[in-house]
Amino acid sequence: MATFTLKTATNVLHRHHNQLAFFSNGASTRRNFPISQNRRSRLVPKVSMSATTVQTFLEKSAPSTKNTALPIMVNACTGKMGKAVINAAEAAGLHVVPVSFGCEDESGQTFEVSGREFLVHGPSDRESFLESVLDKYPNLIIVDYTIPDAVNGNAELYSKVGVPFVMGTTGGDRDLLHKTVEDSKNYAVISPQMGKQVVAFLAAMEIMAEQFPGAFSGYSLQVLESHQASKVDASGTAKAVISCFNKLGVSFDMDKIQLIRDPKQQVEMVGVPEDHLLGHAFHMYHLTSPDETVSFEFQHNVCGRSIYAEGTVDAVLFLAKKIEAKDPKRIYNMIDVLREGSMR
């Protein structure tokens, strides 16, 4: 479940005994969310595939009617986001190719994901592996939800081989990422945020920043973001919003983002439902006037991963249309997707 609030109230982020709390009119804003009790399926390695070629595996797993569905390859298919994207893609009628890049420990094994077997390939000889997949599926689009350290190497490989891709992984050297794609003249959707409604909020922030620069000059900003403990880097969404506030006249350094990764703090201070400690994104931006008589609060809370998975599928479909129309090979973002009305 995702919640979004935009309000102008006398709310203040307080620090007390090195802990963060969020209060509104003297009462905690922690809420009880009606969260569905979805059971997490286990990913179980099946058998070693060292003696089976990727071509044979793809042939065996090909869709029954040839070329009726857009093929996508989800890298890091055993991860939580990979699994969510696979479910969303299949629900949208796409053909998820049953192969994926993974870590060395997973290399050569098949894993059951959402009732299907996926062959995972490790770090070695990835170029020839990817070329084999592309040979079988010329219209292939890749979805990347790997790790920050793999972003630049993966983008370089995709661009070298000439496979369009959607980069959902945050982190890495983003300037180098953009340069790699631009130099290669490849199709790509790269965005710090894949959630549809959050993208719309970001678009509105950018419009406000462009049309009313300096509107919040002199205001101070506090930013708190909470994600599952496995997310090691600061939120790309938070950075994008802060950049807009900078244009609006607010001075704020990215290293001042308050990262909450401790589950106890997330439950007690941020109000994250316990069922979603392993998958959530809570963001709070608090602006205060120089004389502290005016404050603005922007907040968007997301539980689970479906919002990102559905947005990722929208990005894939958008990119496929661009390719079919022979539009310019360049980097697109989720605001481009939103502006074209490509959100289902």
Residues with catalytic function: 227, 231
DSSP 276: G
Strands 331-332 and 220-227, sheet pairing: unpaired
Q: What distance in Å separates the CA atoms of residue 273 and residue 83, rounded to the nearest whole number?
A: 21
Q: What distance in Å separates the CA atoms of residue 106 and residue 286, rounded to the nearest whole number?
A: 43
Q: What distance in Å separates the CA atoms of residue 308 and residue 195, rounded to the nearest whole number?
A: 4
Q: What distance in Å separates the CA atoms of residue 344 and residue 331, rounded to the nearest whole number?
A: 21
Check if the beta carbon of residue 312 is closer than 8 Å to that of residue 85: yes
Q: What distance in Å separates the CA atoms of residue 142 and residue 316, rounded to the nearest whole number?
A: 8
Q: What distance in Å separates the CA atoms of residue 283 and residue 22, rounded to the nearest whole number?
A: 12
Q: Which two tokens stand for residue 139?
A: 């219209």
Check if the beta carbon of residue 188 is closer than 8 Å to that of residue 165: yes
Q: What distance in Å separates the CA atoms of residue 3 and residue 1, rounded to the nearest whole number?
A: 7
DSSP 108: T
DSSP 234: P
Q: Which residues make Cβ contacts (< 8 Å) with residue 4, sequence separation at least 6?
A: 197, 198, 201, 299, 300, 301
237, β-bridge pairs: none
Q: Which residues make Cβ contacts (< 8 Å) with residue 73, sequence separation at least 6?
A: 96, 97, 99, 100, 133, 137, 140, 141, 142, 143
